[in-house]
Structure 1
Amino acid sequence: METLDNFDLAILNELQSDGRLTNAELAQRVGLSAAPCWRRVRALEEAGFILGYRAEIDRHKIGLGVLAFVRLDAAQNSGHLLKALEEAIRTLPEVISCHYISGTGTFELQVVSRDLNTFSQFARDVLINLPNVKDLHTSFSLGEVKAGSVLPLSHLRAQSSHTAKSRRT
């Protein structure tokens, strides 16, 4: 599967909005019958466009009121030392996101915690003691303006239209 057509884009858009749609509901929303819709979903999964399905949980309702952004500075940026740090970060359930960043710092983490005291202890006992960590800098979320992981697809729709037009000529 090299290119996505309008049906594929519609399927991706609908599943991002509601991953619990039945195939029949999805097919109706995108204008396909059930069997071709199911085949397209399977093809999108097999091609790696759809990585999985999961429930989005309200962190506040489960007692995780603190969201911290932590910039970790590595002591050394050599391959095996960074790999060890990456592997250690992956094991921490409190770290919900980690990015290797440019500019100041090496990694940017999103860390959830019950409260400031719990986060403080986690930072002092765990984060600063990870292998190859030189320093850490923390900022706290004061409120979420926009959260979620729905990706924009409009650039693909324009690309799909352009590809379809060039095939006709």
Structure 2
Amino acid sequence: MLDKFDLTILDELQRDGRLTNAELAQRVGLSAAPCWRRVRALEEAGYIRGYHADIDRQKIGLGVLAFVRLDADRNSGDVTRELEEAIRKIPEVISCHYISGAGTFELQVVAQDLDAFSRLARTVLINLPNVKDLHTSFSLGEVKESRALPLAHLKAAT
């Protein structure tokens, strides 16, 4: 069971994963050694999966963000697993989710420009195993982007 110290650690590390243990301990209200032990325990329990750099996709030349609904021809066992595995291998696909309603998967795809996206869609995505159709929407601007998860529901329970 997570306590208030664990939740504060998670909250602070979501905001800044580069905090030193001393800085984190001060923010959490613990001394350095217990704070370090708690961070390690959260990592080992799978609450903290890793630490990542947040890279600005536009600064590295990936100006197009597309949302691609992929319709599979059949949604069964081996065929679906083969499609999943093929999707995982495409570096331009930065996120993939099973979805309800129309379609099977929703992909987030990045590309340098519309021509690059078009080539990827026509040569790779439409030719994935068991793909029946693609439906694409393009981001016209980002209103909010965050990987930080809300923790208020956990704080209320403690």
Shift of 1:148: 1.6
Q: In the alignment, which residue of structure 2 is the partner of 1:16?
A: 14
Aligned twin of 1:108: 106
* Superposition CA RMSD, Å: 0.4
C-alpha distance in 1 between matches for 2:89 and 2:119: 17
Corresponding residue SS for 1:69: strand
Instruction: Give the partner amino acid of 2:137.
Output: S
- In 2, the alpha carbon distance for the partners of 1:63 and 1:8 equals 38
Runs (4+) off by over 4 Å: none
What is the rounded CA distance, in whole Å, between the counterparts of 2:39 and 2:145 in structure 1? 25
Map Cα deviations across residues 91-113 of structure 1 (whole Å, 9 max, x no partner).
00000000011100000000000
What is aligned with 1:59? 57
Name 1:164's counterpart in structure 2: none
Aligned to 2:138: 140
Which protein is bigger by CA-based radius of gyration?
1
Unpaired segments of 5 or more residues in structure 1? 161-169
Amino acid at match of 1:96: I
Count of residue correspondences: 158
- Cα deviation, 1:51-105, whole Å, max 9, x if unaligned, reads 0001000000000000000000001111110000000000000000000111000
Unaligned runs of 5+ in 2: none
If the length of structure 2 is used for normalisation, what is the TM-score?
0.99
| 1:41-120 alignment runs, 5 A limit | 41-120=39-118
CA distance in 1, matches of 2:54, 2:87: 22
| TM-score w.r.t. length of structure 1 | 0.93
Identity of aligned residues (%): 78
Note the C-alpha offset of 1:159: 1.0
* CA displacement 1:104-148 (0-9 Å, x = unmatched): 000000000000010001000000000000000000000000002
Corresponding residue for residue 153 of structure 1: 151
Q: What SS does the corresponding residue of 2:133 show, helix, strand or coil? A: strand
Aligned mates of 1:50, 1:159 — CA distance in 2: 20
Alignment of 1:113-132 (within 5 A): 113-132=111-130
Counterpart in the other structure of 1:7: 5
